[in-house]
């Protein structure tokens, strides 16, 4: 049975109220606790549908330069499933339970923030200011921060697609204004959280009832694209030359859409609100610039196959 907005509203309101009180401070030098403290937790909205194969041959996203980040722990729990186990074992034990949560989707989301912070603060070598994104399977990507402000992203988010997280992350979190890829850090954490939820649900391990497990990824796909649009407008030299930026965007969009489509049809994750949101991305007049940007950047065939428009 499709969920109506009634029940999730309270869930989201409580989550956002808690998030808004979780003051984050930007990361400094070598302080691992200055990770993108995550004022959220995967409390998104479910949606999805259909599966479309990308065209054959090399595709956008195939050119990501990956960094290997192997297990640093050997934790296990049969109730976790493979993906939460993967995430849990890629954060050093020195962090203790700082990023953990009793809810497995939230644990996957928050622990991803810890891994991202550890990689960019302690593991990355080089003078460039980067962000780091762990995507499971011992793989992480570093992307250099572009020369724009986070606040520039808002102008590229269509009004019809300003979802429940817009105020918290896009116009909020002003301490991160000099770190536009903060938005991608949140995006990847939501996608990793969805990985955990979908993995557990399809493996018969999810016993917690309804969740908006895959709304976060579809909403943040919009914000990730808006970030790229802001970069193209505000730092065109970076956008033209930084292949890693465009390749990781393409790779993670595809991963996110695959999870969205898998999760939106699961009884515990389905939700009319997320389906409506995705429909707006595909059809709303004010989202036309975003659709054109995706087609111009990655080609019409890839965009149709992956994003559905």
DSSP for 31-94 reads: -GGGS---S--S----------PPPSSS-TTTT---EE---S-----TTT-HHHHHHHTTS-GG
CA distances in angstroms from 219 to 35, 61, 153, 183, listed in the order given: 22, 20, 14, 11
Q: Examine residue 49 and state whether it is found in any structural domain, yes or no.
A: no
CA dist., res. 46 & res. 270, Å (int): 5
Q: Is 235 helix (H, G, I), strand (E, B) or coil?
A: coil
**Backbone dihedral angles phi then psi of residue 149, each to the nearest 5 degrees:** -95, 150
State the pTM of this model. 0.85
Cβ partners under 8 Å of residue 28, min gap 6: 34
Question: What's the average model confidence in pLDDT over 176-191?
Answer: 98
Q: Examine residue 27 and state whether it is found in any structural domain, yes or no.
A: no
CA dist., res. 109 & res. 211, Å (int): 14
Q: Examine residue 114 and state whether it is found in any structural domain, yes or no.
A: yes
The residue with greater pLDDT, 171 or 49, is 171
Residue-wise pLDDT for 239-288, tens only, equals 999 999 999 999 999 999 999 999 999 999 999 999 999 999 999 999 99
Q: Which domain holds residue 69?
A: 57-307
Is there a contact between 40 and 15 (Cβ–Cβ < 8 Å)?
Answer: yes
Q: Is 159 helix (H, G, I), strand (E, B) or coil?
A: helix
Q: Examine residue 193 and state whether it is found in any structural domain, yes or no.
A: yes
Q: Examine residue 45 and state whether it is found in any structural domain, yes or no.
A: no
- Residue 171 in tokens: 């116009």
Q: Examine residue 31 and state whether it is found in any structural domain, yes or no.
A: no
CA dist., res. 159 & res. 180, Å (int): 20
> pLDDT class for 57, splitting at 50, 70, 90?
confident
Percent of the chain at pLDDT above 70?
82
Q: Is the pLDDT of residue 51 over 50?
A: no
Cβ partners under 8 Å of residue 31, min gap 6: 121
Q: Examine residue 71 and state whether it is found in any structural domain, yes or no.
A: yes
CA dist., res. 214 & res. 274, Å (int): 8
Number of domains, the chain? 1
78 bridge partner residues: none
Tracing tokens 């557990």 back to the chain, one arrives at: 200
Residue-wise pLDDT for 82-124, tens only, equals 999 999 999 999 999 999 999 999 999 999 999 999 999 999 9
- Residue 110 in tokens: 């928050």
Percent of the chain at pLDDT above 90?
81
Q: Examine residue 18 and state whether it is found in any structural domain, yes or no.
A: no
């Amino acid at each position: 049975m499709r969920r109506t907005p009634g029940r999730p509203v309270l869930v989201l309101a409580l989550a956002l109220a808690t998030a808004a009180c979780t003051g984050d401070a930007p990361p400094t030098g070598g302080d691992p606790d200055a990770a993108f403290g995550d004022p959220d937790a995967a409390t998104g909205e479910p949606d999805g549908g259909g599966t479309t194969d990308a065209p054959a041959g090399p595709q956008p996203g195939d050119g990501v330069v990956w960094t290997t980040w192997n297990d640093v722990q050997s934790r296990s729990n049969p109730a976790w499933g493979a993906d939460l186990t993967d995430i849990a074992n890629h954060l050093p034990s020195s962090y203790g339970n700082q990023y953990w949560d009793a809810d497995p989707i939230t644990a996957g989301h928050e622990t991803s923030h810890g891994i991202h912070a550890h990689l960019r603060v302690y593991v990355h070598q080089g003078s460039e200011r980067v962000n780091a994104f762990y995507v499971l399977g011992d793989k992480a990507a570093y992307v250099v921060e572009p020369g724009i402000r986070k606040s520039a992203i808002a102008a590229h988010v269509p009004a019809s697609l300003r979802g429940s997280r817009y105020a918290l992350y896009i116009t909020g979190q002003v301490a991160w204004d000099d770190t536009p890829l903060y938005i991608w850090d949140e995006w990847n954490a939501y996608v990793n959280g969805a990985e955990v939820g979908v993995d557990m649900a399809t493996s018969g391990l999810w016993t917690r009832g309804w969740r908006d497990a895959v709304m976060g990824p579809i909403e943040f796909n919009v914000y990730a694209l808006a970030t790229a649009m802001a970069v193209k407008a505000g730092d065109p030299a970076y956008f033209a030359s930084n292949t890693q930026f465009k390749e990781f965007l393409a790779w993670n969009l595809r991963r996110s859409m695959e999870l969205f489509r898998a999760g939106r049809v699961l009884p515990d994750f389905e939700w009319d609100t997320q389906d409506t949101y995705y429909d707006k991305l595909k059809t709303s007049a004010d989202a036309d610039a975003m659709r054109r940007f995706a087609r111009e950047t990655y080609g019409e065939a890839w965009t149709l196959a992956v994003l559905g428009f």
